[in-house]
Amino acid sequence: MTELQLLGPRAHGEPCGTAVLKAVAEDFQVDEVLEIPLSGQGEHLWLWVEKRGLNTEEAARRLARAAGVSQRNISYAGLKDRQALTRQWFSLHLPGKSDPDLSAAASDSLSILKTVRHSRKLQRGAHSANGFTLRLTNLHGDREALEQRLQSIREQGVPNYYGLQRFGWQGGNVVDARAFAERKELPEQRNTRSRLLSAARSYLFNRLLARRVAASTWNAALVGDLLAFTTSRSFFMAGEAETSDPRLAILDLHPTGPLWGEGPSPAASAPHEQEQAVAEEEPALADWLVSAGMAHERRILRLPITGLTWHYPEPEILQLQFVLPAGCFATAVVRELVDLLPAGQTETPCEF
C-alpha cells in the first residue's frame, strides 16, 4: 500500500523540498508531558527514563528484570519510537519493598534520570502531550517557501492523520487486518489482536480525514459535525451557530472523525453521510471492529501545533520544536513540509 492510500492528500500543498529524518536517534527527540504531581510516598516507584534506539516495551522488560519483578508490575503512559531519543515515565509496583538496584538496566541505550515514589501506578494514556525536537538533515528546497509553509502550519494546524508507523511496512498491518476481517476471525495472540485492530481503526479514520482534506473541510465545522476541544474526549453536535464558534479560529475547538466501533455514529447530515461512505468502502473492516467489541470514539480531525519554533543550525539542517497532544504524530507535521528521503539518500542541493 502506498503512503497516499494509507494517509491521504496534504492540506497545505506540495512539499517544499526534501530532507532526511532520523539519520541518528538525536534527530528525533521526544519528551513526555505528564501533569501529575508526584507525592514522594507510596508503593509505586516512578522512573523518568531516557532511551535511545529502544522501544518502550523492551525498556519495560529491562526495568522489570533489573528490579526482579514481573513485567505485569511495570506501567507506562504511552509507546515511544524506537529510532529516537525519548524521555518518558515508567512506574514499578513495589508493595512493601524498598527501592531496588536498577543499575543492571542501565546501558548506552537506557538511562534512569530520576526516581520518585507515588501512591498510584502510571496509567496508559495519562500523559497530556509530547514535546518534540526534530532535526531535518540533508535539507534541499526553497527557504522562502519553507518559511511561508511553517507560518501556515503554525496558524492553521495540519490534518491529524495517523502516521505510517501505525500500519507497518507497506501497510502490512492493514493487509493482515483485512484478511482476518474477511474470515470474521480475531488473532489469538493479544498483542497481535491489539495491533491489527488499532491499524484497522486508524486506517478508516485516515480514509475519512482524507475525504475532508480533499474537500477542504478538515479544519471547518459542518452542520452535523461532532466538535471537541483539543484535549477533551467529550464532544457536542454542531448546528448553524456552532459552525461559527470563534474557538474554531484559534485552534481550540475542532471537528472530529470516528474511531469505528459498536453503536451508530452520533454525527448527522453531510458528516454522517461521509462516514457511511467510508464504511461502505471497507465493510469487512468496519463490521470486524464492531464485532470485536470496540467502542465508538472520536478523534479531532485538525492537529494544532503548540509552541512551534524553528531555526537553521546549518544551511542544510532545519530544527523544529513543538508540542502535540498525546496520541498524535510528529510525522504528520513534517509531511506537510517536505518529502522524507531514507537515511543516507540525498538529492542535488538547490539554492535557498
- Told to judge if 225 belongs to the known catalytic residues of this protein, a careful annotator would answer no
> Is residue 320 over pLDDT 60?
yes
Whether residue 349 is predicted with pLDDT greater than 50 in this model: the reply is no
Q: Around 278, how many Cα atoms within 13 Å sit in the side-chain half-sphere?
A: 25
Where helices occur in the chain by DSSP H, the ranges are: 3-6, 56-67, 143-156, 172-183, 190-214, 246-249, 269-281, 283-291, 330-335
Residue 187's SS3 state is: coil
List C-alpha distances in Å: 260 to 169, 328, 343: 23, 18, 35
Question: Residue 312's pLDDT band (boundaries 50, 70, 90)?
Answer: very high
pLDDT digits (tens, 9 = 90+) for 136-164: 999 999 999 999 999 999 999 999 999 99
C-alpha cell recorded at residue 96: 512493601
Give the model's pLDDT for residue 233. 86
Q: Distance (Å, rounded) from C-alpha 165 to C-alpha 330? A: 11
Closest CA to 265 of 241, 242, 299: 299
Give the closest residue to 178 by CA, choosing from 197, 205, 202, 206. Answer: 197
Look at 345 and 297; give whichever has higher pLDDT: 297
For residues 252 and 192, give the distance between their C-alpha atoms in angstroms, rounded to a whole number.
35
Main-chain phi, psi angles of 299, to 5 degrees: -140, 140
* pLDDT digit string, tens, across residues 48-69: 999 999 999 999 999 999 999 9
Mean of pLDDT values over 307-316:
97
| Rounded Cα gap, residues 151 and 311, in angstroms | 13
pLDDT of residue 231: 86
- pLDDT of the residue at 344: 57
Pairwise CA distance, residues 64 & 58, whole Å: 10
Beta bridge partners of 18: 140, 339
Residue 348 confidence class, pLDDT cut points 50, 70, 90: very low
Instruction: Kindly report, residue by residue over 64-119, the tens digit of the pLDDT.
Output: 999 999 999 999 999 898 899 999 999 999 999 999 999 999 999 999 999 999 99
Catalytic residue selected from 81, 99, 142, 245: 81
**Predicted local distance difference test score (pLDDT) of residue 41:** 95
**Chain centroid to CA 74: how far?**
22
pLDDT in tens, 154-204: 999 999 999 999 999 999 999 999 999 999 999 999 989 999 999 999 999
| Cα distances (angstroms) measured from residue 220 to each of 209, 216, 268 | 12, 8, 15
Residues 15-43: tens digit of each pLDDT = 999 999 999 999 999 999 998 999 999 99
What integer pLDDT is reported at residue 350 of this predicted model? Answer: 34
Nearest to 137 by CA among 311, 309, 21, 24: 21
Supply the pLDDT for residue 352. Answer: 26
Domains by residue range for the chain, with CATH: 36-118 (3.30.2350.20), 158-303 (3.30.2340.10)
How would DSSP label each residue in 258-286?
A: EE--BS-----HHHHHHHHHHHHHSHHHH
pTM exceeding the 0.75 threshold for the entire prediction: yes
338: pLDDT strictly greater than 50: yes
